[in-house]
């Protein structure tokens, strides 16, 4: 587990923030959410709320679960907009049936394959996680779990337990021929057997310019879709308005809101 210093250092690393945002964007895209309404999503292994930030920017609501109290403390300090729960997902997802419109997870599920205690059985913990997740998701929704499998056996173990719990779907692999950019997304369907999305970086990549690209370019904020650039005045005003609707205390808007400060010499 992370201690307080490590958690804060992780969250302040610009490269980590960039990668986390890109993978969150891709995971939410693979959920195939309706564009005409806000959804409630579950973020498994939410950490300090970096992926939750992207969910909020998209106009959705979220609840995050994580086993690290230090990471959740940092999320609270950062005043993330989602609700937070300290819990081990290997013990199950403790929410009522059909509560969520979708689930994402960034770089977390593979940890359930480790036996950190003598009492831990990876297959049982994975099945407990997937079976309770299946129940907590609304029919027709999806779960998209980005993970870093150690080997093909671990990948097979995770997939087998998901299918045993009732999910359909499979693995979406982005940029399969790149050692650096290759990413695994377990895309799971609840109650329906949808068409598995194609991975990026395959022969059809040129036909899908709207999808997230894992490159060194900073394409985090999609201005082409008419969204505000992060940290701009409009972006700050939108965020403040969302927080007001949630009943939170927000400072009044002034002519100085979003104004850049001059550098100090």
Model confidence pTM above 0.85: no
Q: Could you name the CATH architecture of 4-190?
A: 3-Layer(aba) Sandwich (3.40)
Residue 5, pLDDT score: 65
Tell me the chain's radius of gyration from C-alpha atoms: 19
> Which pLDDT value is given to residue 204?
47
The number of beta carbons lying within 10 Å of the beta carbon of residue 252 is 6
Distance CA 211, CA 213 (A): 6
Output the pLDDT for position 227. 60
- How far is Cα 7 from Cα 15, in angstroms, rounded to an integer? 15
DSSP 3-state percent helix, strand, coil across the chain (nearest 5): 35, 20, 45
- Going from N- to C-terminal start, the domains of the chain cover 4-190, 228-260
Give residue 3's pLDDT. Answer: 60
Q: Looking at residue 1, what is its pLDDT?
A: 55
Three-state DSSP class for residue 84: strand
pLDDT in tens, 78-118: 999 999 999 999 999 999 999 999 999 999 999 999 877 76
Check residue 144 and give its pLDDT: 97
- CA pair distance 200, 180, nearest whole angstrom: 14
In the prediction, which pLDDT does 212 show?
A: 36
The tens place of each residue's pLDDT in the chain, 265 residues long, gives 556 666 667 667 778 788 888 999 999 999 999 988 999 999 999 999 999 999 999 999 999 999 999 999 999 999 999 999 999 999 999 999 999 999 999 999 999 998 777 677 899 999 999 999 999 999 999 999 999 988 889 999 999 999 999 999 999 999 998 888 899 999 999 987 678 888 888 754 444 433 333 333 333 444 444 566 667 777 788 778 777 777 778 888 887 787 776 666 5
Pure H helices in the chain? 4-12, 14-31, 50-57, 69-77, 122-136, 152-164, 233-245
The two three-digit tokens of residue 134, written as one number: 């299946």
Report the pLDDT value the prediction gives residue 67, as an integer from 0 to 100. Answer: 94
- Spatial CB neighbours of 221, under 8 Å, sequence gap ≥ 6: 227, 228, 229, 230
The count of other CB atoms within 10 Å of the CB of residue 247 is 7
Q: Which residues contact 58 (CB under 8 A, 6 or more apart)?
A: 28
Q: Which residues fall within 8 angstroms of residue 40, CB to CB, at 6 or more apart? A: 60, 61, 62, 63, 99, 100, 101
């Amino acid at each position: 587990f992370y201690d307080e210093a490590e958690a804060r250092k992780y969250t302040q690393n610009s490269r980590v923030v960039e990668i986390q945002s890109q993978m969150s964007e891709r995971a939410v895209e693979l959920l195939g959410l309706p564009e005409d309404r806000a959804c409630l999503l579950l973020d498994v292994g939410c950490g300090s709320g970096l992926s939750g930030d992207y969910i909020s920017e998209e106009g959705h609501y979220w609840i995050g679960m994580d086993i690290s109290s230090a990471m959740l403390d940092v999320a609270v300090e950062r005043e993330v907009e989602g609700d937070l729960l300290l819990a081990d997902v290997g013990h199950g997802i403790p929410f009522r049936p059909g509560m969520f419109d979708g689930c994402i997870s960034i770089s977390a599920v593979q940890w359930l394959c480790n036996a950190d205690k003598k009492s831990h059985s990876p297959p049982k913990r994975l099945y407990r996680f997937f079976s309770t997740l299946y129940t907590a998701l609304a029919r027709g929704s999806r779960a998209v779990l980005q993970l870093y499998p150690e080997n093909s056996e671990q990948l097979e173990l995770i997939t087998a337990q998901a299918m045993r719990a009732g999910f359909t779907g499979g693995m979406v692999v982005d940029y399969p021929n790149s050692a650096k950019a290759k990413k695994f997304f377990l895309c799971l369907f609840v109650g329906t057997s949808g068409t598995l999305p194609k991975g990026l970086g395959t022969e059809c990549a040129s036909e899908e310019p709207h999808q997230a690209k894992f490159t060194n370019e900073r394409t985090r904020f999609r201005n082409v879709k008419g969204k505000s650039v992060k940290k701009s005045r409009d972006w700050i005003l939108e965020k403040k308005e969302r927080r007001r609707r949630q009943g939170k205390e927000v400072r009044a808007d002034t002519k100085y809101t979003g104004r850049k400060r001059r550098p100090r010499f």
